[in-house]
Protein backbone atom coordinates (compact mmCIF):
# COMPACT_ATOMS: atom_id res chain seq x y z
CA UNK A 1 0.00 0.00 0.00
CA UNK A 2 1.24 3.46 -0.89
CA UNK A 3 2.34 5.90 1.80
CA UNK A 4 2.13 8.78 -0.70
CA UNK A 5 -0.65 11.30 -0.13
CA UNK A 6 -1.83 10.64 -3.67
CA UNK A 7 -5.17 8.88 -3.78
CA UNK A 8 -6.23 9.76 -7.31
CA UNK A 9 -4.30 10.42 -10.51
CA UNK A 10 -5.69 12.12 -13.59
CA UNK A 11 -4.61 11.28 -17.11
CA UNK A 12 -5.34 12.92 -20.46
CA UNK A 13 -4.12 12.38 -24.01
CA UNK A 14 -3.59 15.55 -26.06
CA UNK A 15 -2.64 16.42 -29.64
CA UNK A 16 -2.88 14.09 -32.62
CA UNK A 17 -3.47 10.46 -31.73
CA UNK A 18 -0.72 7.92 -32.24
CA UNK A 19 -0.32 4.16 -31.89
CA UNK A 20 0.62 3.18 -28.35
CA UNK A 21 -1.56 5.66 -26.44
CA UNK A 22 -3.77 2.88 -25.15
CA UNK A 23 -0.71 0.96 -23.97
CA UNK A 24 0.22 4.01 -21.88
CA UNK A 25 -3.29 4.44 -20.43
CA UNK A 26 -3.40 0.74 -19.57
CA UNK A 27 0.03 0.85 -17.93
CA UNK A 28 -0.84 3.93 -15.88
CA UNK A 29 -4.14 2.45 -14.69
CA UNK A 30 -2.83 -1.04 -13.96
CA UNK A 31 0.22 0.29 -12.10
CA UNK A 32 -1.98 2.64 -10.08
CA UNK A 33 -4.44 -0.16 -9.22
CA UNK A 34 -2.00 -3.03 -8.68
CA UNK A 35 0.96 -1.37 -7.03
CA UNK A 36 -0.52 1.63 -5.27
CA UNK A 37 -4.20 0.86 -4.84
CA UNK A 38 -5.22 4.35 -6.00
CA UNK A 39 -7.80 5.70 -8.44
CA UNK A 40 -7.27 6.99 -11.96
CA UNK A 41 -9.52 9.61 -13.49
CA UNK A 42 -9.55 9.54 -17.29
CA UNK A 43 -10.07 13.08 -18.64
CA UNK A 44 -11.61 12.89 -22.11
CA UNK A 45 -10.60 14.73 -25.28
CA UNK A 46 -7.41 16.29 -24.03
CA UNK A 47 -7.48 19.72 -22.41
CA UNK A 48 -11.05 20.24 -23.59
CA UNK A 49 -12.08 17.63 -21.02
CA UNK A 50 -10.65 19.87 -18.30
CA UNK A 51 -12.54 22.91 -19.57
CA UNK A 52 -15.77 20.99 -20.00
CA UNK A 53 -15.44 18.77 -16.92
CA UNK A 54 -15.64 15.58 -18.94
CA UNK A 55 -14.04 12.62 -17.23
CA UNK A 56 -14.70 9.21 -15.72
CA UNK A 57 -13.04 6.90 -13.23
CA UNK A 58 -11.15 4.19 -15.04
CA UNK A 59 -11.64 0.61 -13.98
CA UNK A 60 -10.13 -2.73 -14.94
CA UNK A 61 -12.56 -3.35 -17.75
CA UNK A 62 -11.81 0.03 -19.40
CA UNK A 63 -8.16 -0.90 -19.71
CA UNK A 64 -8.30 -4.58 -20.54
CA UNK A 65 -8.12 -5.63 -24.17
CA UNK A 66 -6.75 -2.25 -25.33
CA UNK A 67 -3.01 -2.91 -25.51
CA UNK A 68 -3.09 -3.77 -29.20
CA UNK A 69 -5.58 -1.08 -30.18
CA UNK A 70 -4.55 2.14 -31.95
CA UNK A 71 -6.06 5.52 -31.05
CA UNK A 72 -6.90 6.48 -27.48
CA UNK A 73 -9.85 5.33 -25.40
CA UNK A 74 -9.84 8.79 -23.79
CA UNK A 75 -10.19 10.69 -27.07
CA UNK A 76 -8.02 13.67 -27.95
CA UNK A 77 -7.98 17.03 -29.70
CA UNK A 78 -5.15 19.17 -30.96
CA UNK A 79 -7.01 22.43 -30.53
CA UNK A 80 -8.04 23.17 -26.97
CA UNK A 81 -5.33 25.08 -25.17
CA UNK A 82 -6.60 26.65 -21.90
CA UNK A 83 -4.03 29.43 -22.32
CA UNK A 84 -5.52 30.32 -25.72
CA UNK A 85 -9.08 29.11 -25.72
CA UNK A 86 -11.97 30.18 -27.93
CA UNK A 87 -14.12 32.43 -25.75
CA UNK A 88 -16.50 33.86 -28.32
CA UNK A 89 -16.73 35.50 -31.73
CA UNK A 90 -16.50 39.09 -32.83
CA UNK A 91 -17.46 40.12 -36.35
CA UNK A 92 -17.42 36.48 -37.39
CA UNK A 93 -13.89 35.79 -36.08
CA UNK A 94 -12.95 33.73 -33.05
CA UNK A 95 -11.89 35.59 -29.92
CA UNK A 96 -9.21 33.80 -27.89
CA UNK A 97 -8.66 34.15 -24.18
CA UNK A 98 -6.60 32.73 -21.31
CA UNK A 99 -8.98 30.50 -19.34
CA UNK A 100 -6.26 28.70 -17.41
CA UNK A 101 -7.63 29.89 -14.05
CA UNK A 102 -10.87 28.10 -14.89
CA UNK A 103 -8.81 25.03 -15.87
CA UNK A 104 -7.11 25.16 -12.45
CA UNK A 105 -10.48 25.42 -10.69
CA UNK A 106 -11.90 22.51 -12.70
CA UNK A 107 -8.86 20.35 -11.98
CA UNK A 108 -9.27 21.09 -8.27
CA UNK A 109 -12.87 19.89 -8.42
CA UNK A 110 -11.71 16.61 -9.95
CA UNK A 111 -9.82 15.91 -6.68
CA UNK A 112 -6.72 14.61 -8.41
CA UNK A 113 -3.37 15.01 -6.73
CA UNK A 114 -1.38 14.55 -9.94
CA UNK A 115 -2.05 14.94 -13.66
CA UNK A 116 -0.35 12.81 -16.29
CA UNK A 117 -0.27 14.57 -19.66
CA UNK A 118 0.45 12.31 -22.64
CA UNK A 119 1.27 14.45 -25.64
CA UNK A 120 3.64 15.90 -28.19
CA UNK A 121 5.38 19.24 -27.84
CA UNK A 122 2.15 21.29 -27.95
CA UNK A 123 0.45 19.35 -25.14
CA UNK A 124 3.64 19.13 -23.09
CA UNK A 125 4.10 22.91 -23.31
CA UNK A 126 0.54 23.33 -21.98
CA UNK A 127 1.24 20.71 -19.29
CA UNK A 128 4.36 22.59 -18.28
CA UNK A 129 2.44 25.88 -18.07
CA UNK A 130 -0.16 24.22 -15.83
CA UNK A 131 2.69 22.86 -13.72
CA UNK A 132 4.13 26.35 -13.37
CA UNK A 133 0.70 27.52 -12.19
CA UNK A 134 0.73 24.88 -9.46
CA UNK A 135 -0.70 21.66 -10.93
CA UNK A 136 1.47 18.60 -10.16
CA UNK A 137 2.09 17.38 -13.72
CA UNK A 138 4.09 14.47 -15.15
CA UNK A 139 4.55 14.34 -18.93
CA UNK A 140 4.77 11.39 -21.31
CA UNK A 141 6.10 12.06 -24.83
CA UNK A 142 4.13 10.76 -27.80
CA UNK A 143 4.26 11.56 -31.47
CA UNK A 144 4.78 9.72 -34.70
CA UNK A 145 7.07 12.62 -35.70
CA UNK A 146 9.79 11.62 -33.19
CA UNK A 147 10.80 15.28 -32.91
CA UNK A 148 11.22 15.62 -29.14
CA UNK A 149 14.87 16.16 -28.26
CA UNK A 150 14.77 14.90 -24.66
CA UNK A 151 14.00 11.29 -25.56
CA UNK A 152 15.80 8.92 -27.90
CA UNK A 153 12.44 7.98 -29.37
CA UNK A 154 8.75 8.68 -28.87
CA UNK A 155 6.22 5.87 -29.00
CA UNK A 156 4.14 5.89 -32.18
CA UNK A 157 7.15 6.52 -34.39
CA UNK A 158 7.98 2.85 -34.85
CA UNK A 159 4.44 2.00 -35.99
CA UNK A 160 4.33 4.96 -38.40
CA UNK A 161 7.71 3.90 -39.73
CA UNK A 162 6.45 0.37 -40.35
CA UNK A 163 3.41 1.70 -42.21
CA UNK A 164 5.53 4.03 -44.36
CA UNK A 165 8.09 1.33 -45.11
CA UNK A 166 5.35 -1.09 -46.11
CA UNK A 167 3.98 1.58 -48.46
CA UNK A 168 7.41 2.00 -50.08
CA UNK A 169 7.70 -1.77 -50.53
CA UNK A 170 4.33 -1.79 -52.27
CA UNK A 171 5.18 1.18 -54.48
CA UNK A 172 8.38 -0.57 -55.54
CA UNK A 173 6.55 -3.37 -57.28
CA UNK A 174 4.33 -1.11 -59.35
CA UNK A 175 7.19 1.33 -60.05
CA UNK A 176 9.21 -1.54 -61.50
CA UNK A 177 6.37 -2.73 -63.70
CA UNK A 178 5.62 0.71 -65.14
CA UNK A 179 9.08 2.33 -65.28
CA UNK A 180 7.86 5.33 -63.35
CA UNK A 181 9.09 7.64 -60.64
CA UNK A 182 6.86 6.97 -57.66
CA UNK A 183 6.70 9.68 -55.04
CA UNK A 184 5.51 9.03 -51.50
CA UNK A 185 4.67 11.90 -49.14
CA UNK A 186 4.95 11.07 -45.47
CA UNK A 187 4.13 13.05 -42.31
CA UNK A 188 6.53 14.40 -39.72
CA UNK A 189 5.79 18.15 -39.60
CA UNK A 190 9.07 20.08 -39.79
CA UNK A 191 11.23 17.07 -38.99
CA UNK A 192 12.38 14.48 -41.49
CA UNK A 193 12.54 11.42 -39.22
CA UNK A 194 9.74 9.39 -40.80
CA UNK A 195 10.97 10.15 -44.33
CA UNK A 196 14.60 9.40 -43.47
CA UNK A 197 13.99 6.14 -41.63
CA UNK A 198 11.31 4.77 -43.97
CA UNK A 199 13.32 5.87 -47.00
CA UNK A 200 16.36 4.05 -45.69
CA UNK A 201 14.38 0.96 -44.69
CA UNK A 202 12.53 0.89 -48.00
CA UNK A 203 15.60 1.55 -50.15
CA UNK A 204 14.32 4.86 -51.58
CA UNK A 205 16.49 6.38 -54.30
CA UNK A 206 15.77 9.95 -53.20
CA UNK A 207 14.75 11.20 -49.75
CA UNK A 208 13.67 14.82 -49.37
CA UNK A 209 13.59 16.15 -45.81
CA UNK A 210 13.08 19.61 -44.28
CA UNK A 211 16.63 19.67 -42.95
CA UNK A 212 18.31 19.36 -46.37
CA UNK A 213 17.41 21.80 -49.19
CA UNK A 214 16.90 20.10 -52.57
CA UNK A 215 16.95 21.04 -56.26
CA UNK A 216 14.98 19.43 -59.10
CA UNK A 217 18.19 19.05 -61.13
CA UNK A 218 19.74 16.98 -58.40
CA UNK A 219 16.67 14.72 -58.17
CA UNK A 220 16.68 14.26 -61.94
CA UNK A 221 20.42 13.49 -61.94
CA UNK A 222 19.70 10.57 -59.66
CA UNK A 223 16.78 9.36 -61.78
CA UNK A 224 18.75 9.61 -65.02
CA UNK A 225 21.81 8.00 -63.47
CA UNK A 226 19.61 5.05 -62.59
CA UNK A 227 18.08 4.99 -66.07
CA UNK A 228 21.58 4.91 -67.57
CA UNK A 229 22.27 1.85 -65.46
CA UNK A 230 19.15 0.14 -66.77
CA UNK A 231 16.94 0.94 -63.77
CA UNK A 232 13.84 2.39 -65.29
CA UNK A 233 12.06 3.33 -62.08
CA UNK A 234 12.83 5.43 -59.04
CA UNK A 235 11.32 5.80 -55.59
CA UNK A 236 11.25 9.24 -53.99
CA UNK A 237 10.16 9.74 -50.37
CA UNK A 238 9.20 13.31 -49.47
CA UNK A 239 8.60 14.61 -45.97
CA UNK A 240 5.53 16.84 -45.83
CA UNK A 241 7.72 19.57 -44.34
CA UNK A 242 10.37 19.54 -47.09
CA UNK A 243 10.88 23.05 -48.45
CA UNK A 244 10.64 23.70 -52.17
CA UNK A 245 13.75 25.03 -53.95
CA UNK A 246 12.34 28.57 -53.62
CA UNK A 247 12.21 28.07 -49.83
CA UNK A 248 8.44 27.68 -49.55
CA UNK A 249 6.65 25.15 -47.35
CA UNK A 250 3.52 23.62 -48.86
CA UNK A 251 0.32 23.76 -46.81
CA UNK A 252 -3.05 22.13 -47.24
CA UNK A 253 -4.21 24.89 -44.94
CA UNK A 254 -2.16 27.72 -43.47
CA UNK A 255 -3.31 29.48 -40.31
CA UNK A 256 -1.18 32.60 -40.09
CA UNK A 257 -2.03 33.64 -36.52
CA UNK A 258 -1.68 30.10 -35.15
CA UNK A 259 0.99 27.99 -36.88
CA UNK A 260 0.09 24.99 -34.68
CA UNK A 261 -3.22 24.82 -36.55
CA UNK A 262 -1.63 24.99 -40.02
CA UNK A 263 -1.62 21.75 -41.99
CA UNK A 264 1.34 20.80 -44.10
CA UNK A 265 0.68 18.73 -47.20
CA UNK A 266 0.95 18.75 -50.96
CA UNK A 267 4.71 19.04 -51.50
CA UNK A 268 4.85 15.64 -53.26
CA UNK A 269 2.33 16.80 -55.88
CA UNK A 270 4.49 19.79 -56.71
CA UNK A 271 7.69 17.72 -56.83
CA UNK A 272 5.96 15.12 -59.02
CA UNK A 273 4.61 17.61 -61.52
CA UNK A 274 7.89 19.53 -61.72
CA UNK A 275 9.88 16.34 -62.40
CA UNK A 276 7.39 15.36 -65.10
CA UNK A 277 7.24 18.87 -66.62
CA UNK A 278 10.95 19.69 -66.51
CA UNK A 279 12.42 16.28 -67.43
CA UNK A 280 9.62 14.27 -69.03
CA UNK A 281 9.76 11.51 -66.40
CA UNK A 282 6.37 9.89 -65.78
CA UNK A 283 5.53 10.37 -62.09
CA UNK A 284 2.83 9.18 -59.74
CA UNK A 285 2.20 10.58 -56.27
CA UNK A 286 0.90 8.84 -53.15
CA UNK A 287 0.14 10.77 -49.96
CA UNK A 288 0.13 8.38 -47.03
CA UNK A 289 -1.61 10.80 -44.64
CA UNK A 290 -3.32 9.60 -41.51
CA UNK A 291 -2.76 5.93 -42.29
CA UNK A 292 0.56 6.58 -40.54
CA UNK A 293 -1.20 7.41 -37.29
CA UNK A 294 -3.63 4.52 -37.27
CA UNK A 295 -3.68 0.79 -36.80
CA UNK A 296 -2.17 -1.67 -34.43
CA UNK A 297 0.90 -0.45 -32.55
CA UNK A 298 4.07 -2.43 -33.11
CA UNK A 299 5.43 -4.52 -30.21
CA UNK A 300 8.12 -1.84 -29.75
CA UNK A 301 5.52 0.92 -29.29
CA UNK A 302 3.42 -1.22 -26.94
CA UNK A 303 6.44 -1.95 -24.77
CA UNK A 304 7.75 1.64 -24.81
CA UNK A 305 4.26 2.95 -24.01
CA UNK A 306 4.00 0.50 -21.13
CA UNK A 307 7.41 1.45 -19.73
CA UNK A 308 6.60 5.18 -20.01
CA UNK A 309 3.22 4.68 -18.29
CA UNK A 310 4.73 2.76 -15.39
CA UNK A 311 7.52 5.32 -14.93
CA UNK A 312 5.07 8.23 -14.99
CA UNK A 313 3.09 6.73 -12.09
CA UNK A 314 6.31 6.08 -10.18
CA UNK A 315 7.36 9.72 -10.64
CA UNK A 316 3.95 10.97 -9.49
CA UNK A 317 4.00 8.72 -6.42
CA UNK A 318 7.51 9.96 -5.59
CA UNK A 319 6.29 13.58 -5.89
CA UNK A 320 8.57 14.29 -8.83
CA UNK A 321 6.51 16.76 -10.80
CA UNK A 322 7.35 18.99 -13.75
CA UNK A 323 9.16 16.00 -15.23
CA UNK A 324 8.72 14.08 -18.46
CA UNK A 325 9.59 10.41 -18.81
CA UNK A 326 12.06 9.59 -21.55
CA UNK A 327 14.18 6.85 -23.07
CA UNK A 328 17.86 7.72 -22.82
CA UNK A 329 20.50 5.25 -24.02
CA UNK A 330 18.06 2.39 -23.59
CA UNK A 331 17.02 3.26 -20.01
CA UNK A 332 13.74 4.80 -18.89
CA UNK A 333 14.54 8.06 -17.13
CA UNK A 334 13.08 11.53 -16.64
CA UNK A 335 13.94 15.09 -17.62
CA UNK A 336 12.47 18.44 -16.68
CA UNK A 337 9.48 19.29 -18.88
CA UNK A 338 10.89 22.77 -19.37
CA UNK A 339 14.03 21.28 -20.96
CA UNK A 340 12.06 18.62 -22.80
CA UNK A 341 10.04 21.14 -24.80
CA UNK A 342 12.81 23.67 -25.35
CA UNK A 343 14.33 22.31 -28.56
CA UNK A 344 12.76 20.36 -31.42
CA UNK A 345 14.79 17.30 -32.48
CA UNK A 346 15.67 17.53 -36.15
CA UNK A 347 17.68 15.31 -38.47
CA UNK A 348 21.31 16.37 -38.63
CA UNK A 349 22.24 16.93 -42.25
CA UNK A 350 25.82 15.86 -41.47
CA UNK A 351 24.79 13.10 -39.05
CA UNK A 352 25.62 9.41 -39.21
CA UNK A 353 22.20 8.35 -40.54
CA UNK A 354 22.33 10.71 -43.51
CA UNK A 355 25.95 9.72 -44.18
CA UNK A 356 24.99 6.04 -44.09
CA UNK A 357 22.15 6.64 -46.55
CA UNK A 358 24.42 8.62 -48.85
CA UNK A 359 27.07 5.89 -48.65
CA UNK A 360 24.67 3.39 -50.16
CA UNK A 361 23.76 5.78 -52.95
CA UNK A 362 20.65 7.53 -51.64
CA UNK A 363 20.25 11.08 -52.86
CA UNK A 364 18.87 13.85 -50.67
CA UNK A 365 18.40 16.10 -53.67
CA UNK A 366 21.24 18.37 -52.48
O1 LIG B 1 2.17 15.51 -35.24
C2 LIG B 1 1.59 14.38 -35.81
C3 LIG B 1 1.03 14.71 -37.18
O4 LIG B 1 0.50 13.52 -37.72
C5 LIG B 1 2.01 15.37 -38.14
O6 LIG B 1 2.92 14.46 -38.70
C7 LIG B 1 1.06 16.00 -39.12
O8 LIG B 1 1.65 17.10 -39.76
C9 LIG B 1 -0.09 16.44 -38.24
O10 LIG B 1 -0.03 15.66 -37.06
C11 LIG B 1 -1.44 16.28 -38.88
O12 LIG B 1 -2.38 16.79 -37.99
P13 LIG B 1 -3.95 16.63 -38.17
O14 LIG B 1 -4.32 15.27 -37.65
O15 LIG B 1 -4.50 17.73 -37.37
O16 LIG B 1 -4.25 16.74 -39.63
pLDDT the model gives residue 79: 84
The Cα 117–Cα 141 span in angstroms is 9
Check: CB of residue 219 under 8 Å from CB of residue 365: yes
The Cα 48–Cα 258 span in angstroms is 18
Angle at 123 between CA 117 and CA 127, to 5 degrees: 55
**Atom of ligand 1 minimally distant from the CA of 194:** 6
pLDDT the model gives residue 356: 98
Pocket residues for ligand 1 (CB within 6 Å)? Answer: 16, 78, 120, 143-145, 187-189, 240, 263-264, 293
Domain ranges of the chain: 3-155+297-340, 158-293
In total, the chain counts a number of residues equal to 366
Residue 143 CA, ligand 1 centroid: distance in Å: 9
CA distances from 125 to 137, 251, 261, 308, 324 (A): 11, 24, 15, 18, 11
The Cα 203–Cα 345 span in angstroms is 24
pLDDT the model gives residue 253: 87
**CATH code of the domain occupying 3-155+297-340:** 3.40.50.450
The Cα 42–Cα 75 span in angstroms is 10
pLDDT the model gives residue 261: 75
Residue 144 CA, ligand 1 centroid: distance in Å: 9
Residue nearest to atom 8 of ligand 1 (CA): 189
The per-residue DSSP string of 336-364 comes to EHHHHTTSB----TTSHHHHHHHHTT-B-
233-257 pLDDT, tens digit each: 999 999 999 999 999 999 998 877 6
Residue 116 CA, ligand 1 centroid: distance in Å: 22
Per the DSSP assignment, residues forming a β-bridge with 117 are 12, 139
Question: Can you give the pTM of this predicted structure?
Answer: 0.95
Q: pLDDT tens digits, the chain, 366 residues: what are they? A: 456 789 999 999 999 999 999 999 999 999 999 999 999 999 999 999 999 999 999 999 999 999 999 999 999 998 899 999 999 999 998 899 999 999 999 999 999 999 999 999 999 999 999 999 999 999 999 999 999 999 999 999 999 999 999 999 999 998 988 889 999 999 999 999 999 999 999 999 999 999 999 999 999 999 999 999 999 999 999 999 999 999 999 999 887 767 667 899 999 999 999 999 999 999 999 999 999 999 999 999 999 999 999 999 999 999 999 999 999 999 999 999 999 999 999 999 999 999 999 999 999 999
Per the DSSP assignment, residues forming a β-bridge with 247 are none
pLDDT the model gives residue 273: 97
The Cα 251–Cα 249 span in angstroms is 7
Instruction: Find, among 241, 231, 232, 228, the residue nearest to 196 by Cα.
Output: 241
Which among 17, 145, 196 is the best mutation to test ligand 1's pocket, defined by most ligand atoms within 8 Å of the CB?
145
CATH of 158-293, one of 3.40.50.460, 3.40.50.150, 3.20.20.70, 3.40.190.150: 3.40.50.460
Amino acid sequence: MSTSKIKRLGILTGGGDCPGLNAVIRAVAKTAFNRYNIEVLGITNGFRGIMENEHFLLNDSHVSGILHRGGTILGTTNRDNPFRYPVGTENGTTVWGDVSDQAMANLKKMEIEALIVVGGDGSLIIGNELYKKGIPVVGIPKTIDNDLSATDITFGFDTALNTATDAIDKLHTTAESHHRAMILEVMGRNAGWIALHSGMAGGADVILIPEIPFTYDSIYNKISDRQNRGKKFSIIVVAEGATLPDGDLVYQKEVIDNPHHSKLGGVADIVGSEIQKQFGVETRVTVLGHLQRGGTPTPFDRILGTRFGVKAVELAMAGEFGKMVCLCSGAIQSVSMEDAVAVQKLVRADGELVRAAKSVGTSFGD
